[in-house]
């Protein structure tokens, strides 16, 4: 398999499926495209691999997929014994809904607090819209951790939903967000630290 990704310090979309693919233990080729190049050079380089001109893109034989959630779904089916989604139907539905909410939502947080793993942590003033996003994430994380017992959002096993929220955890650290200011009683903050301690995420950091 080959996974085409963008600059590791910035590309949240690339990080998510990279973490999942790394968790499978399957060897893969990593093709890195530097983002934010001038004169459309980044898009041109990506178009060689992905018809959308966007990263990530997964190649597996004749299969070519260029959406982070679709790639993760493919990997879950390709490696069914790894429980990348929870086994239980009810739990799996909640985990999928949470991943989809991240995939499509939290626009204000994304815009004001882009992932930058090379940036020294520093607090900044955030808008009311971003405050609303953070409160929702705290409520979501706390609810899932309580409902399924943790330590991950789908229960005992790290999975796709945790990969989707790992970039969020890095944003909170980078921009000095104290989750206790947004209704957290400790569970959400502990979860954020936990996902950033996963070996796959540490391996990603080594590549920056």
> Which CATH number belongs to the domain containing residue 167 in this structure?
1.20.1050.10
Please check whether residues 69 and 114 belong to one and the same domain: no
Please check whether residues 113 and 196 belong to one and the same domain: yes
Please check whether residues 51 and 96 belong to one and the same domain: no
Quote the distance between the C-alpha of residue 58 and its chain's center.
16
Please check whether residues 116 and 96 belong to one and the same domain: yes
Q: Give the Cα separation of 77 and 97 in Å (integer).
A: 18
Please check whether residues 141 and 196 belong to one and the same domain: yes
* Tokens read off for 48: 């060689």
Name the domain boundary from 67, 82, 97.
82
Q: Considering its fold, how many domains does the chain have in total?
A: 2
Q: Give the Cα separation of 68 and 137 in Å (integer).
A: 20
User: Is the predicted pLDDT of residue 206 greater than 80, yes or no?
Assistant: yes
Please check whether residues 62 and 93 belong to one and the same domain: no
Across all residues in the chain, what is the average pLDDT? 95
Tell me the average pLDDT across 87-113: 97
pLDDT tens sequence across 24-66: 999 999 999 887 777 777 777 767 777 777 789 999 999 899 8
| Domain, as residue range, for 60 | 2-82
Task: At 27, give phi and psi (nearest 5°).
Answer: -65, 140
Tell me the average pLDDT across 135-143: 98
> Which CATH number belongs to the domain containing residue 27 in this structure?
3.40.30.10
Please check whether residues 51 and 103 belong to one and the same domain: no
Please check whether residues 63 and 103 belong to one and the same domain: no
User: Do 85 and 76 contact (CB within 8 A), yes or no?
Assistant: yes
* Tokens read off for 36: 């934010």
User: Is the predicted pLDDT of residue 151 greater than 90, yes or no?
Assistant: yes
40, burial (CB in 10 Å: exposed 0-12, middle 13-18, buried 19+) = exposed
In a domain, 208, yes or no: no
Name the domain boundary from 56, 82, 108.
82
pTM for the whole structure: 0.95
pLDDT at position 34, please?
A: 80
Please check whether residues 94 and 68 belong to one and the same domain: no
Q: Give the Cα separation of 15 and 25 in Å (integer).
A: 16
């Amino acid at each position: 398999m080959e996974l085409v990704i963008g600059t590791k310090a910035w590309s949240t979309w690339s990080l998510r499926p990279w973490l999942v693919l790394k968790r499978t233990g399957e060897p893969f080729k990593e093709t890195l495209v530097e983002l934010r190049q001038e004169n459309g050079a980044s898009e041109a380089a990506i178009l060689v691999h992905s018809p959308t001109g966007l990263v990530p893109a997964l190649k597996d034989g004749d299969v070519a997929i260029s959406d982070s959630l679709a790639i993760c779904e493919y990997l879950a089916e390709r490696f069914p014994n790894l429980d990348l989604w929870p086994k239980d139907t009810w739990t799996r539905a909640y985990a999928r809904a949470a991943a989809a909410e991240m995939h499509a939502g939290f626009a204000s947080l994304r815009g004001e607090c882009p992932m930058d793993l090379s940036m020294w942590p520093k607090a900044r003033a955030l808008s009311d819209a971003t405050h609303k996003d953070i409160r929702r994430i705290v409520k979501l994380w706390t609810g899932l951790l309580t409902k399924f017992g943790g330590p991950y959002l789908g229960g005992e096993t790290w999975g796709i939903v945790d990969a989707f929220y790992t970039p969020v955890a890095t944003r909170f650290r980078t921009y000095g967000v104290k989750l206790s200011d947004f209704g957290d009683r400790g569970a959400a903050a502990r979860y954020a630290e936990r996902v950033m301690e996963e070996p796959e995420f540490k391996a990603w950091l080594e590549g920056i």
